[in-house]
Structure 1
């Protein structure tokens, strides 16, 4: 069997990569060891930048029906008094969606699988385990075993995307290893379903307590999540009994009777901070948890995998379609790895602010909380580093490497609706006929900044070339952009 792209793993990163590639007409085979969506909740948060990726797939409305906006983050002391509050707007931000959103991961995976079923170029197969990979200059050979029948087959692919999680076989196959960023903590994760009104603030509560750090959040109409740091010697099994668990959640559940609290899951997780030493070997790439692991304190773990998919998919589609040189694939790791590392460091900082004890812990909270204020309130993540597809000047500020706002335009549509997954030229001036012809010939979309007060305020002067993933490639004079990049 021969396919352009083989995706190993049908978690959120793999499903999103397949959907983005399928949108561009790229043939994909997605293989997963499991036959269906893993039913237990894991990831529960994504921000407006990641929401925007779902919007480009036409899934914003469906996701909105399965999620709820989150009002932000509170850092609490051991007595649940507010140390700091970082509010997020439940309305549409600059990317067109709420800045923080709670959801149930199985719901999102079902939504993505349903969407893949409508794409004729994508095939999803469960109970299919990739047991080996080998590649040469022409492609990759994957050995696949059917976990039900034991039948074996060989799949030949032009490219392979390893989206197969923390214990990635693909990562092992290319000889990549995970660098430890020095954060390992054992936590108890508790999911509860109840129709009772707990009367809690509709945001994330993070308790900064070295004795028992904790997190609480409402993730759905009837679903709630708690996370408690385990002490040395404690195990999740000890909290399987409700009488032992109840004192932990009681500060939030109050007088709600035990009969009205359905324990969905009690499990132990080890929160880690790790990143692969390399994300690519020839025609094989790593995405999601196969490439990086982050503590969940700022809710960016799953979102990082979707960002990986959005960064790589359009480049891969361009290479396979003959419109981009293969060299652009080298920009994937160049751009994404520093971004992921920065987000992991931010998560570790919050984790230490929550859990560090003694004078050191007090100092961390005193110093870190004020520094976090601007970063947490603003949902924007760091700009991508310079690459062949990010022309950031060294000595002056530029929007290059950041996302262009998904601004509301004068006809009621948004920027992404008009760009449609293509290159777009946003300009504050009126292009000449020659310039308009050059833009049309390149296949890019022209978006006058005057069509939107937000776009005009963002760009002010000159022009910006926006990539299919919404990232600004460069900004400056329109004539220079056309001459250099189009």
Structure 2
């Protein structure tokens, strides 16, 4: 195994997760963070089941700090229910971001990776076989640099041009609340669909709650608005104005300098995919960097932007569209909205992750059904409380239907897949039934074979 030196810029959840995934693969990882102390400000509050699988692969027990999300309830201006979209158990988790960062930092310390805080990255320059990072303390040489340093990313400026805007920015007041006892509210996300005051209210975890109010609708009478949700007795922990962007990077890579998370994309909050998108970036990038450091051609890193940009654009557009449908327009739009939202497909608001586009390691057919290629392999339950992810291992896996092992293309970096016989596994669903399945290290189905 070849050990590489990787510098991760930014110690938010995306950067810490990327560092863990690379450290577990045996690389020397250093995380640089400009803040001297961990942030106490909650930002993300929701992760779907796909993003939770990334954390599990990084060795983090998300269930310790999260509460199940019940789904989404759409309300009119008088808080009457327009529509309700419940989530299946385990499909969504609500959490307090500082709790997640504490878990990730503890895991990083156990992994042997190094976290350096209070250091400012001033520039990143690609080199022939890596990059040079200049900080306010020293100059570092790395085999790869991952820019996970947020919306004002120094690394993104080094990678390329300004991002492509997908929708207009939107100003909201975000209010984090702490209750003395659980509030008697429905345990999911409440979305007020206007037309007078677009607002969002949700239980987070424990006694924490969040309320958000669109500022374009005029000044906010905070006590009155909180009272409408039955939260007037809560302590206001923080009230801050945020501008929600909707943009995706035009370039994700310059040599071995690569972008993840908010450095690569910003999304409106309406389908809860901001942090989830970043964790998916880190999951698929970690195995590619690992393969390149093991000898795979650098061209493998071209698939980072090719796969992630299209996926991010799909979800950012979906978030912007969903927000527009739920909150835009005046009284006439409100009457139309009542009809549209009753007919809106459940899958739109559930924001199921779209499949990755066809590419070198997403071998979807040009015509005909894709049979699950480009999507995550289902994490089906096994015996004794285990799940499929527990037996796939950290690398490639080949699920076969018989004792005859099919020939698969050579894998990046000389990797060898772990062979698992389907007879010992539960049914993976109709798309994958009776087929051999090649699973990437990020749990994405890379290819399938014909029925047995």
Q: Tell me if both proteins adopt one fold, taking TM over 0.5 as the criterion.
A: yes
Residue number in structure 2 paired with 1:115? 107
Cα distance in 2 for residues equivalent to 1:434 and 1:172 = 45
Residue number in structure 2 paired with 1:390? 362
Alignment counterpart, residue 104 of structure 1, candidates 96, 99, 103: 96
Cα distance in 1 for residues equivalent to 2:274 and 2:70 = 19
Alignment counterpart, residue 230 of structure 2, candidates 242, 253, 256: 253
Residue number in structure 2 paired with 1:155? 140
Residue number in structure 2 paired with 1:181? 166
Cα distance in 1 for residues equivalent to 2:256 and 2:426 = 43
Q: Is the 8 A contact 1:466 1:474 kept in 2?
A: yes
Cα distance in 1 for residues equivalent to 2:253 and 2:195 = 39
Residue number in structure 2 paired with 1:75? 74
Alpha carbons of structure 1 residues 433 and 289: separation in structure 2 relative to 1, 3 Å: closer
Q: Is the 8 A contact 1:31 1:126 kept in 2?
A: yes
Instruction: Please state if 1:303 is matched with 2:284.
Output: no
Q: Is the 8 A contact 2:71 2:85 kept in 1?
A: yes
2:74 match: secondary structure? strand
Deviations 1:405-436 (A, max 9, x none): 11123464321111111111112x21227879
Cα distance in 2 for residues equivalent to 1:478 and 1:318 = 30
Structure 2 length normalisation: TM-score? 0.93
Residue number in structure 1 paired with 2:42? 41
Cα distance in 1 for residues equivalent to 2:75 and 2:375 = 32
2:246 match: secondary structure? strand
Paired residues, number: 445
2:168 match: secondary structure? strand
2:395 match: secondary structure? coil
Cα distance in 2 for residues equivalent to 1:434 and 1:224 = 52
Cα distance in 2 for residues equivalent to 1:233 and 1:217 = 22
Offset of residue 272 of structure 1: 1.3
1:43 match: secondary structure? coil
Offset of residue 339 of structure 1: 0.7
1:183 match: secondary structure? coil
Offset of residue 271 of structure 1: 1.2
Q: Is the 8 A contact 1:401 1:471 kept in 2?
A: yes
Instruction: Please state if 1:127 is matched with 2:141.
Output: no
Offset of residue 32 of structure 1: 0.7
Alignment counterpart, residue 288 of structure 1, candidates 255, 261, 272: 261
Q: Is the 8 A contact 2:427 2:433 kept in 1?
A: no
Offset of residue 23 of structure 1: 0.8
Cα distance in 2 for residues equivalent to 1:270 and 1:449 = 48
Offset of residue 457 of structure 1: 4.9
Cα distance in 2 for residues equivalent to 1:262 and 1:434 = 61
Offset of residue 212 of structure 1: 0.6
Range moving further from structure 2, 333-342 or 353-362: 353-362
1:187-226 equivalence runs, <5 A: 187-226=172-211
Q: Is the 8 A contact 2:10 2:34 kept in 1?
A: yes
Cα distance in 1 for residues equivalent to 2:8 and 2:417 = 29
Residue number in structure 2 paired with 1:85? 84
Cα distance in 1 for residues equivalent to 2:266 and 2:12 = 14
Residue number in structure 1 paired with 2:151? 166
Offset of residue 275 of structure 1: 1.1
RMSD (Å) for aligned C-alpha atoms: 2.3
Instruction: Please state if 1:473 is matched with 2:416.
Output: no
Offset of residue 362 of structure 1: 4.4
Residue number in structure 2 paired with 1:354? 326
Residue number in structure 2 paired with 1:23? 24
1:191 match: secondary structure? strand
Alpha carbons of structure 1 residues 387 and 434: separation in structure 2 relative to 1, 3 Å: closer
Q: Is the 8 A contact 1:210 1:355 kept in 2?
A: yes
1:128 match: secondary structure? coil
Structure 1 length normalisation: TM-score? 0.87
Long gaps (5+) in structure 1: 91-97, 146-151, 480-486
Offset of residue 233 of structure 1: 6.4
Alpha carbons of structure 1 residues 56 and 338: separation in structure 2 relative to 1, 3 Å: same
Alpha carbons of structure 1 residues 366 and 339: separation in structure 2 relative to 1, 3 Å: farther
